[in-house]
Amino acid sequence: MNDINQLVEMLATDATPVRPAASPFMLSFKLMAAATAYLAVSLAISGLRPDLMEKLHTSWFAAEIALLILIFASTSISIALLGFPDLHQNPGATYAPVAVFMVFLAVIFFAWNADTPPAPLPMHSFQCTLGIMMVSILPAIWTFYALRQYASTHQRLAGSIALLSSFSVGALWLRLHELNDSVIHLIQWHYLPMLVFGIIGIGLGKILLKW
């Protein structure tokens, strides 16, 4: 009995204190604050579209911008919760981005249906996707870094949500910067690539979030 007590005392003495993980909502707040500052700097450098205030008074554009913001906010919360093996006992908020994406797709569909006659296509095409990707790189890096400080057991889903979240920052930047009203162009070069990057994130999550 004395040997067991001595062993327990020795193990307790040698144990390295473990710092408790921060609240997931604190993590999501940090992610959103960083993205807001980053977006503000990016727009200060690139400039806003000249007709932004006028466009914000049009229902479909305003709804699109609002839902892009909601996509980022919901994915930021989801990422933070996915850092915990038990989703911090909040699965509803974890999967909230699914509902937001469904509403977003509906808004894009109705905006496309209302785009008659269709707005002229811009002269460029894939350049938009490349621009969004470039702006999304830094948010993706710091999001994956933040997730690695936690112990996610949902690496694939966390990786997918992380890339969707960072891509939404780039998509929001381009919509506030680019003078373009073609919904077909938006679908092809802004939002379909977002889904592709969500799929790529599944593989990245398995690799980068492995522990």
- pLDDT of 75 reads 96
- pLDDT of 53 reads 94
| pLDDT interval class at 16 (50, 70, 90) | low
Dist CA 131 CA 159 (whole Å): 21
Q: Within 10 A of 34 (CB to CB), how many other CB atoms are there?
A: 17
Domain definitions of the chain by residue range: 23-208
% of residues, the chain, pLDDT over 90 = 70
- pLDDT of 118 reads 87
State the pTM of this model.
0.87
Dist CA 194 CA 189 (whole Å): 9
Of 182, 5, 168, 158, the residue nearest 71 (C-alpha): 168
Residues 189 and 59: beta-carbon distance below 8 Å: no
Say if residue 14's pLDDT is above 60.
Answer: no
Q: How do residues 49-102 score in pLDDT, each as one tens digit? A: 999 999 999 999 999 999 999 999 999 999 999 988 888 888 899 999 999 999
Give the pLDDT mean for 16-28. 71
| pLDDT interval class at 123 (50, 70, 90) | confident
- pLDDT of 46 reads 95
Q: How do residues 128-173 score in pLDDT, each as one tens digit? A: 999 999 999 999 999 999 998 887 889 999 999 999 999 999 999 9
Q: Hey, what are 166's tokens?
A: 């960072």
Of 85, 65, 52, the residue nearest 153 (C-alpha): 85
